Amino acid sequence: MIELYLIRHGTTTLPEHFIGETDVPLAATGTDEIQKLCRVIVDRMLSADRPLKAIYSSDLQRSIQSAHILAQLTGLEIQIVPRLRELAFGEWEGLTYEQIVERYPQEFSAWKHDFSRKHPPGGESMGSFRKRVMFALGGILARHENGDRIAVVAHGAVNRVILCHYLGLPLNRIFSLGQKHGAMNLIELHSGRAVVSLLNWQPF
C-alpha cells in the first residue's frame, strides 16, 4: 500500500477570486493553516519506521510555499511537477464569482451545468485538465513502491479530479467534493483498489 497525503494549499491573498494559473502567494492565514496541518501530519501520522518519502508540488507559489512548510518539518526536498498546477480559467482568471456571472452569464451557466464538456472562454476543458493531472500523478506513483508515504501539495480542482478518479465519480460531480484551503485527503492505494480514509480534513 502507498499512502498519498493529498493537500490543498493554504488560503491565498485572493481567496474570493478564480485564480487558476494566476500565481499568487499565501496569505498569513494560509501559512498558519498549513503550519497547523503539517505539524499534525508529522507528529501524529508519520512514524520513524514509515516516514514521508517524498513531497511533490505544483509550480505555483501558493503550493510551493505550502509544501515548503512540510519540507522544513521533514527535511525533504520539494519535487516540482508543473502538470499539477490548477485548472486554467482563461478570461475568468482574477475575477470573482460575481464578476464572472455579470460579464459571462451564458458561458458560466453552461459551464456550471456541464463541467465535463464546457470550459471557460480561453480556458482549459475539464477533460484535458483531468488527463494532465492523472498523467502527472501516474508519473509520481511510478517512482514509489509498497509501503511508501508521499505528499502531493496542489490545488482545489486538482485534488477533486484525483478524488473523483479514486471514488469512481464522473467529472460533472467534481464540485460536489469539498476542498477547503489547508485541508488534507488521505488515499490508501492498494493493489487494484483505493481507499479514501480522510476527505477534506483539517485539524483546526
Using a 10 angstrom Cβ sphere, with 0-12 exposed, 13-18 middle and 19 or more buried, the burial of residue 29 is middle
CA dihedral 174, 150, 200, 134 (to 10 degrees): 0
Tell me whether strands 149-154 and 2-8 are parallel, antiparallel or unpaired.
Answer: parallel
For residue 88, give the nearest of 174, 21, 175, 157 by alpha carbon: 21
HSE-up of residue 116 (Cα within 13 Å, Cβ side): 7
Task: Please state, in angstroms and as integers, the Cα–Cα distance from residue 6 to each residue in 3, 27, 95, 104, 121, following that order.
Answer: 9, 20, 27, 32, 29
For residue 203, give the nearest of 178, 180, 181, 183 by alpha carbon: 183
47: cell is 512514524
Sheet with strand 193-201: strands edge to edge: 78-80, 52-57, 149-154, 2-8, 184-190, 193-201
The set of catalytic residues is: 9, 86
